[in-house]
Structure 1
Amino acid sequence: MSQLLLSLFFISLINNSISWRTFMRGRSKYGNLGVPTLSKDQELSSDEWFTQFLDHFNPTDARVWQQRYFVNGEYYKKGGPVFLMISGEAAAGSKWMKEGQWIEYAKQFGALCFQVEHRFYGKSHPTSDLSVKNLMYLSSQQALADLAYFIQLMNSNYKLPKDTKWIAFGGSYAGSLAAWLRSKYPHLIHGAVSASGPLLAEIDFQEYYVVVENALKEYSEECVNTIIKANQQFHIMLRHPIGQQGIAKKFVLCDPIDSGHTKSNDISNLYETIASIFAGIVQYNKDNRNNSAMANLTIESACNILTNETLGIAVDRLAILSTKMLNASGEKCLDYMYSKMIHKLRNVTWASEEAEGGRQWTYQTCTEFGFFQTSTARPNLFSETFPADFFVQQCVDIFGPRYNIHLLNSAINRTNILYGGLDLKVTNVVFVHGSTDPWHVLGITKSPNRQMPAIYINGTAHCANMYPPSKNDPPQLKAARVEIGRLIYQWLHS
């Protein structure tokens, strides 16, 4: 399974306590717009809908669709600000309307809260299917324009004072959107909290696994050495029929490894799937996801398994960790076959499991961002079998021959020109990153100036500042949340 898709699994956990297969796990009629009313006993989990343009950049195209959003007016005080939670590459979750650090800020500042679902994700279906001709309307630019039109409409529908200030919040890809929204539409958004948002588009994101290795090594160098040994043993076993049978049994593979039928892409996918275990554990280490089956899978617990020699040789310990991940996700076996993955991601119907986010996010990476977490920089740790070419081939196999390296190079260059990459110039945006989160490499971690403050939190992972506070939060995370609150106060009173 591609690491891109595994990332969606963890992102969806954010959205569902803040998709792909079982990893990612309203109303029958679209509601009329009308003039909303704010009520403290408002049902927070109900879907709301508003009319949106399909193509914001073609004034001759009048096609529209219905986009989903959530609203919470429980903490709103007349004249207060409006907080906008941007939903990213998974379904929006009503749970975010009742918890999360942004709700604590809403209580503090008397804010009206909205969450808008990203086009093509969740229930926000702009087109009849996910065919390539329709996915051309899926882009960060269109998503930002969706938010701009939403803000304008809510200002009118809620009869908000003209001097009402909107503050955007987002994590991961949505964190990027929050920063870009302030940059592109400063007349509509007064400030933004960008958590763990990658700003630099990059095809070969080889730095990702460098951070993963460093995070594991910081806890235990023996842990990293065990992974290297396990990889070596895994590689040797793959060369012989008996070893292949052993891998299939130890790692509970859905399909046996057959020298005559198993292709090189299958083996690359298998290696990349195993590496993804560590990617997920490190990226979300010790976060405050509530009721998550993954909550106990931390760097510490993973390394304790890997370094426990009573559990067998290194590859046996790696298999035990892999099985734990399978059990936590509810999967019966490890599906590594490349052809199966591609076949599923070619499904264009909204009823497919991939419609929960896998096909859409893969399209965005193939046409805007890259973000391919390759093994290029750490071949001894995770093998040399999934370089950038492996992921570019997926773009071609899923979407067609046009989506090749030439298109991708052009797309990456275009994205960085449109948004500025790490040279983004903007005001009233705070960039928040954790040292354990590999995505911080593509973000702003040092303040270029006072109007673009960066908060780099040692020892925390992806979007850590967004989760509900916990008594177990380290002091540096608590301090970061306080500092973000101070900045929001400063923006609102400037």
Structure 2
Amino acid sequence: MGDFTAMLSLPLLLSLAALCFYPSTISSMPPPRFSPKSKYAPRFLGKPSRSNYSAPTYQYDTRYFDQNLDHFSFSNLPKFRQRYLINTDHWAGPSRAAPILFYCGNEGDIEWFAANTGFVWEIAPRFRAMIVFPEEEAYRNTSTLAHLTAEQAIADFAVLITELKRNMSAQDCPVVLFGGSYGGMLASWMRLKYPHIAIGALAASAPILQFEDLVPPETFYQIVSDDFKSESFSCFNTIKNSWDVIEAEGQKKNGLSFLSETFRFCKKLKSTAALSDWLYSAYSYLAMADYPYPADFLMPMPGNPIKEVCRRIDNCPDGTSILQQIFEGVSVYYNYTGTVDCFDLDDDPHGMDGWNWQACTEMVMPMATSKYSMFPEYSYNYTSYEEWCLGDYHVKPRPNWITTEFGGHGFKHALKTFGSNIIFSNGLLDPWSGGSVLEDISESIVAIFTKEGAHHLDLRPSTAEDPDWLVEQRATEIKIIRSWLDEYLERKRAVLDM
């Protein structure tokens, strides 16, 4: 569709725990340059900024719903209180069959996602719609992690929507689903599994094909590398050459101390792997959030942050060490504001570690790197992956379950035959776009993408700095959503006129 036409995103864990997220990456022998036990690689959304968010403040009521812990068992299990945010300021009500815009909550604090999903808030007045942001509570509590699955999540949403509509006499009000990253995956899967609950879904940056052998395992990191290479080949090469330098320095006497001081860590590094993971994470998040204007979705960063990283690396004075160049560049991600005195590797302020559990159970996303990337070459090794999960969580991953539950092989035929009303939106700078849908499947399952776009940029609040292609992308999405609602209302009228 337009620039959005021709051509399918997150490290579900860069290294299982090192995804926002984010990719599951375990390397083969020789040992990887970063440890599969690391916490620092991107999840679907990664570590959020510790600063105050600059996103607009939206008004909502916070409510709770007594939700079933397990929808697929008849055991007498306790319920849990599911938090959700709701706004009815613009809702025209049941008598007008006014729509409900329902955001499929991700693997973190729902208020964070609500603050960064301005698109939903901005279109609500136009559609005279209610807004609902539910939260997945299971990620917060180790005792409920066993129930932290995509199947349970979309069942939670289905039950919540059904009860909410019943309580508000809104049974005839159509529901449109939204979600970005993992939330986008949930939105598309929910539309497929519960077509009677929601009439359509906007799935932004949703890597539903990042499983098994549906896409090459090198895809994610190759896109990250290409983002840097297209900005500056010398910058790309500096990063590519830095891994050997880091490893060599770490082998020296007091080398870890030197690295800790060079990169200003609050505590001494225990291994070079921890530093490598920290850098992997930054480069991946920079690619994901390579927005055309300043934002602090993950960390406070300037517009086109990869351009700024490479500018700093390339403009270092002659004689600057490669380690210092790397530090100058990566500081764009970790310390653009200049307010951080030292860096703490152990920080998960929004509870994103729940993703690690999911990556060790059903969200098994093979990741690898090739010799053409800016990262050390390694291959995906499921055996190592499984050993890590057994050791840390005492569970064995099910690498084939997602494709069994939601499809994947032959997805074009399956979606065309059984699906409808889904928008897959992507920005090709986003490394997760490589695992998403980049081509129209049918008249109503469409792919919208932009070459310059990054991780679910279309869902973010609009700004005066939005480029024309982003304004056009959102306008296209609004037009499609309007067609879904018009079609729904026409069918309702036809039934009433019979």
Q: TM tier, shorter chain?
A: 0.7 to 0.9
Structure 1 residue 432 and structure 2 residue 425: aligned?
yes
Instruction: Quote the Cα distance in structure 2 between the aligned partners of 1:95 and 1:438.
Output: 20
8 A contact 2:61–2:87 mirrored in 1: no
Cα deviation, residue 365, structure 1: 0.8
Q: CA offset at residue 291 of structure 1?
A: 5.4
Partner of 1:33: none
* Amino acid across the alignment from 1:82: I
RMSD of aligned Cα (Å)? 3.1
Aligned twin of 1:249: 261
User: Residue in 2 aligned with 1:116?
Assistant: 134
Aligned length: 431
> Shift of residue 19 of structure 1?
7.2
Whether the 8 Å contact between 1:209 and 1:378 is mirrored in structure 2 is no
> For 2:151, which of 136, 141, 156 is the aligned residue?
141
Inter-partner Cα distance in structure 1 for 2:87 and 2:237:
49
Q: Measure how far apart 1:392 and its partner are.
A: 4.5
Distance 1:63 1:243, change over 3 A: closer
> Residues 167-186 of structure 1 correspond to what in structure 2 (within 5 A)?
167-186=176-195
Query: Residues of 2 paired with 1:466 and 1:20: CA distance?
Result: 19
Which structure has more relative contact order (CA 8 Å, sep 6+)? It is: 2
Partner of 2:393: 399
Q: Which whole-Å deviations, capped at 9, do the CAs of 1:108-163 have from their partners, x for residues lacking one?
A: 11111111111324xxx6xxx404xx321110100010000011101111111x43
CA distance in 2, matches of 1:482, 1:92: 26
Q: Give structure 1 stretches of 5+ with no counterpart.
A: 11-17, 26-42, 342-352
For residue 231 of structure 2, what is the aligned residue in structure 1? Answer: 219
Kindly indicate whether the alpha-carbon contact (under 8 Å) linking 2:20 and 2:181 is maintained by their aligned counterparts in 1.
no
Structure 1 position 189 matched with structure 2 position 198: yes
Q: Distance in 2 between matches of 1:276 and 1:413?
A: 26
TM norm structure 1: 0.79
Residue 481 of structure 2 is matched in structure 1 by: 488
Deviation at 1:282, TM superposition (A): 0.9
2:427 is the counterpart of 1:417 = no
Contact 1:20 1:357 in 2 (8 A): no
Q: Please tell me whether the aligned partners of residues 294 and 328 of structure 1 are also in contact (alpha carbons under 8 angstroms).
A: yes
* CA-to-aligned-CA distance 1:43-87 (integer Å, 9 cap, x gap): 934320111111100134353121001111111123211110111
Aligned to 2:30: none
Q: Counterpart amino acid of 1:318? A: I
Inter-partner Cα distance in structure 2 for 1:19 and 1:442: 18
Aligned-pair CA distance for 1:103? 1.9
Deviation of 1:362 after TM superposition, in Å, equals 0.3
Q: Is the 8 A contact 2:16 2:360 kept in 1?
A: no
CA 1:324–1:7 in 2, change beyond 3 Å: closer, same or farther? same
So what's the TM-score if we normalise by structure 2?
A: 0.78
Asked if the contact 1:201–1:368 (Cα under 8 Å) also holds between the matched residues in 2, the reply is: no
Identity %: 24
Structure 1 match to 2:37: none
Alignment partners' CA distance in 1, 2:349 and 2:301: 26
Q: Name which of 250, 258, 282 aligns with 1:277.
A: 282
Residue 325 of structure 2 corresponds to residue 317 of structure 1: yes
Amino acid at match of 2:83: R
Measure, in 2, the Cα distance between the counterparts of 1:360 and 1:328: 28
Asked whether the equivalents of residues 448 and 473 of structure 2 are also in contact (C-alpha less than 8 Å), the reply is yes
Contact 1:3 1:276 in 2 (8 A): no
The structure carrying a bigger helix percent of its residues is: 1
* 8 A Cα contact 1:97 1:103, kept in partner: no
Give, in angstroms, the shift of residue 321 of structure 1. 2.8
Judge conservation of contact 2:221–2:373 (CA < 8 Å) in 1: no
Post-superposition shift, 1:5?
6.0
Which of the numbers 299, 302, 308 marks the counterpart of 2:309?
A: 302
Distance in 1 (CA, whole Å) between partners of 2:82 and 2:238 is: 48
> Structure 1 residues 430, 324: closer, same or farther in 2, change over 3 A?
closer
Choose which of 439, 443, 451 in structure 1 pairs with 2:436. 443
Structure 2: which 5+ runs fail to align? 1-12, 23-44, 53-57, 488-498
The residue matched to 1:421 in structure 2 has which SS?
coil
2:38 is matched with: none
Distance 2:85 2:72 in 1: 26
Distance in 1 of aligned mates of 2:373 and 2:220: 15
- 2: CA distance, partners of 1:334 / 1:378: 30
> Residue 238 of structure 1: SS of its match in structure 2?
helix
What is the deviation of 1:242?
5.4
Q: Secondary structure at the match of 2:169?
A: coil
